[in-house]
Chain A
Amino acid sequence: MSTLQMERRKFLKFSLAAGGGLLIGFYLPGKSQLAIAAERSASVFMPNAFVRIGTDERVTVIVNHSEMGQGVYTALPMLLAEELDADWNKVGFEPAPVDPKYNHPVFGMQVTGGSTSVWSAFEQFRKAGAAARAMLVAAAAQRWGVDPATLRTESGAVLDQKNRKLTYGQLAEAAAKMTPPAEVALKDPKTFKLIGKPVKRLDTGEKVNGKAIFGIDVKLPQMLTAVVARAPIFGATMKSFDDSRARSMPGVRKIVTVPSGVAVIADSFWQAKMARYALRVDWDEGPMHTFSTSQMMQQFREQTKSPGKSVRREGDPDAAFAKAAQKIEAVYEVPYLSHAMMEPLNCAVDLRADSCEIWTGTQFQTVDRASAAKIAGLPNEKVQIHTTFLGGGFGRRATPQSDFVVEAVHVAKAAGVPVKVVWTREDDMQGGWYRPAFVHTVAGSVDASGNPVSWRSRLVGQSIFAGSQFESMMAKKGYDPASVEGADDLPYAIPNLAIEYYQTQVNVPVQWWRSVGHSHTGFATECFVDELAALARKDPYQFRRALLLKHPRHLRVLDLAAQKAGWGKPLPKGRARGIAVHFAFESYNAQVAEVSVQDGKVQVHRIVSVMDCGRYVNPGIIAAQMEGGAIFGASAALFQELTFENGRLQQTNFHTFPALRMNECPVIETHLVESNEKSGGIGEPGVPCTAPAIANAVFAATAKRIRKLPIRMTEAI
Chain B
Amino acid sequence: MISLSVNKQKVNLDVDPSTPLLWVLRDNLGLTGTKYGCGMAQCGACTIHLDGEAVRSCVAPLSRATGKEVTTIEGLSSDLSHPLQRSWIAEDVPQCGYCQSGQLMSAAVLLREKPRPTDEDIDQAMTGNICRCGTYPRIRKAIHRAAGMMAKGGAK
List of B residues within 8 angstroms of A68 by Cβ? 96
List of B residues within 8 angstroms of A422 by Cβ? 36
Q: Does B148 contact A (CB under 8 A)?
A: no
A-B contact pairs, 15 of them (CB 8 A): A22-B29, A27-B32, A67-B96, A204-B89, A208-B93, A209-B73, A216-B35, A217-B32, A225-B27, A341-B132, A392-B98, A628-B133, A632-B134, A665-B136, A667-B137
Instruction: Kindly state the separation between the CA atoms of A383 and B116 in the bound complex, as whole angstroms.
Output: 53
Q: Are A389 and B97 in contact (CB under 8 A)?
A: yes
Other than the known A23-B74, A206-B97, what 11 A-B pairs have Cβ atoms closer than 8 Å?
A21-B7, A205-B80, A209-B76, A210-B32, A342-B133, A389-B96, A627-B134, A627-B137, A627-B138, A631-B134, A660-B136
Among A206, A394, A424, A653, which residue has its beta carbon within 8 angstroms of that of B42?
A653
- Of A206, A270, A390, A393, most buried by chain B (CB within 10 Å of CB) is A270
Instruction: Kindly state the separation between the CA atoms of A225 and B26 in the bound complex, as whole angstroms.
Output: 12
What residue of chain A has the Cβ atom nearest to residue B28's Cβ? Answer: A268
Q: Does B45 contact A (CB under 8 A)?
A: yes
Q: Are B95 and A71 in contact (CB under 8 A)?
A: yes
- Of B6, B7, B77, B100, most buried by chain A (CB within 10 Å of CB) is B100
Q: Does A545 contact B (CB under 8 A)?
A: no
Interface of B is mostly: loop
Q: Does B65 contact A (CB under 8 A)?
A: no
Identify which of residues 25-60 in chain B touch chain A, using a CB-to-CB cut-off of 8 Å.
Answer: 26-40, 42-43, 45
List of A residues within 8 angstroms of B37 by Cβ? 342-344, 425, 654
Among B23, B31, B94, B104, which residue has its beta carbon within 8 angstroms of that of A203?
B94
Q: Are A663 and B23 in contact (CB under 8 A)?
A: no
Proximity string of chain A (28-53) to chain B, C-beta cutoff 8 Å, 1 when within and 0 when not:
00000000000000000000000000
Q: Are B134 and A629 in contact (CB under 8 A)?
A: yes
Among B23, B74, B133, which residue has its beta carbon within 8 angstroms of that of A210?
B74
Q: Does A482 contact B (CB under 8 A)?
A: no
Q: Are B136 and A69 in contact (CB under 8 A)?
A: no
Instruction: Kindly state the separation between the CA atoms of A71 and B19 in the bound complex, as whole angstroms.
Output: 36
Q: Are B85 and A209 in contact (CB under 8 A)?
A: yes
- What is the size, in residues, of chain B's interface with A at 8 Å between Cβ atoms? 68
Q: Are A391 and B35 in contact (CB under 8 A)?
A: yes
Among A25, A390, A635, which residue has its beta carbon within 8 angstroms of that of B96?
A390
Proximity string of chain A (182-215) to chain B, C-beta cutoff 8 Å, 1 when within and 0 when not:
0000000000000000001101111111111110
Among B26, B75, B96, B129, which residue has its beta carbon within 8 angstroms of that of A69?
B96
Give the shortest distance, in Å, between A407 (CB) and chain B (any CB).
19
Give the shortest distance, in Å, between A623 (CB) and chain B (any CB).
9
List of B residues within 8 angstroms of A270 by Cβ? 19-20, 23, 27
Instruction: Kindly state the separation between the CA atoms of A140 and B129 in the bound complex, as whole angstroms.
Output: 53
Q: Does B66 contact A (CB under 8 A)?
A: no
What residue of chain B has the Cβ atom nearest to residue A634's Cβ? Answer: B134
Among A209, A268, A662, which residue has its beta carbon within 8 angstroms of that of B74?
A209
A22-B30, A208-B80, A216-B36 known; A201-B45 Cβ under 8 A? no
Identify which of residues 618-642 in chain A touch chain B, using a CB-to-CB cut-off of 8 Å.
Answer: 620-621, 624, 627-632, 635
Q: Are A204 and B98 in contact (CB under 8 A)?
A: no
Q: Are A394 and B122 in contact (CB under 8 A)?
A: no
Q: Are B134 and A391 in contact (CB under 8 A)?
A: no
Q: Are A204 and B92 in contact (CB under 8 A)?
A: yes
Q: Are A391 and B123 in contact (CB under 8 A)?
A: no
List of A residues within 8 angstroms of B33 by Cβ? 209-211
A200-B92, A208-B100, A269-B23 known; A342-B43 Cβ under 8 A? yes
Proximity string of chain B (103-141) to chain A, C-beta cutoff 8 Å, 1 when within and 0 when not:
010000000000000000011101111111111111110
List of A residues within 8 angstroms of B45 by Cβ? 342
Instruction: Kindly state the separation between the CA atoms of A259 and B8 in the bound complex, as whole angstroms.
Output: 46
Instruction: Kindly state the separation between the CA atoms of A661 and B137 in the bound complex, as whole angstroms.
Output: 11
Among B29, B75, B94, B133, which residue has its beta carbon within 8 angstroms of that of A204?
B94
Using a CB–CB cutoff of 8 Å, the interface residues on chain B facing chain A are 6-9, 11, 16, 19-20, 23, 26-40, 42-43, 45, 72-78, 80, 84-85, 88-89, 92-101, 104, 122-124, 126-140
What residue of chain B has the Cβ atom nearest to residue A341's Cβ? Answer: B132
What residue of chain A has the Cβ atom nearest to residue B101's Cβ? Answer: A210
Instruction: Kindly state the separation between the CA atoms of A47 and B34 in the bound complex, as whole angstroms.
Output: 39
Q: Does A70 contact B (CB under 8 A)?
A: yes
Instruction: Kindly state the separation between the CA atoms of A425 and B130 in the bound complex, as whole angstroms.
Output: 13
Q: Does A120 contact B (CB under 8 A)?
A: no
Q: Does A24 contact B (CB under 8 A)?
A: yes
Q: Are A18 and B9 in contact (CB under 8 A)?
A: yes
What residue of chain A has the Cβ atom nearest to residue B13's Cβ? Answer: A14
Give the shortest distance, in Å, between A194 (CB) and chain B (any CB).
15
Q: Are B9 and A208 in contact (CB under 8 A)?
A: no
Q: Are B39 and A425 in contact (CB under 8 A)?
A: yes
Q: Does A340 contact B (CB under 8 A)?
A: yes
Give the shortest distance, in Å, between B125 (CB) and chain A (any CB).
8
Q: Does A287 contact B (CB under 8 A)?
A: no
Give the shortest distance, in Å, between A489 (CB) and chain B (any CB).
27
Q: Are B30 and A205 in contact (CB under 8 A)?
A: no
Instruction: Kindly state the separation between the CA atoms of A627 and B65 in the bound complex, as whole angstroms.
Output: 38
Proximity string of chain A (326-358) to chain B, C-beta cutoff 8 Å, 1 when within and 0 when not:
000000000000001111100000000000000
Q: Are A340 and B11 in contact (CB under 8 A)?
A: no
List of B residues within 8 angstroms of A390 by Cβ? 96
Instruction: Kindly state the separation between the CA atoms of A22 and B94 in the bound complex, as whole angstroms.
Output: 24
Q: Are A342 and B89 in contact (CB under 8 A)?
A: no
Give the shortest distance, in Å, between B42 (CB) and chain A (any CB).
4
List of A residues within 8 angstroms of B89 by Cβ? 200, 204-205, 208
Q: Does A219 contact B (CB under 8 A)?
A: yes
List of A residues within 8 angstroms of B35 by Cβ? 214, 216, 342-343, 391
Instruction: Kindly state the separation between the CA atoms of A389 and B98 in the bound complex, as whole angstroms.
Output: 9
Q: Are A663 and B127 in contact (CB under 8 A)?
A: yes
Q: Are B134 and A219 in contact (CB under 8 A)?
A: no
What residue of chain A has the Cβ atom nearest to residue B86's Cβ? Answer: A208
Among B40, B74, B97, which residue has its beta carbon within 8 angstroms of that of A207?
B97
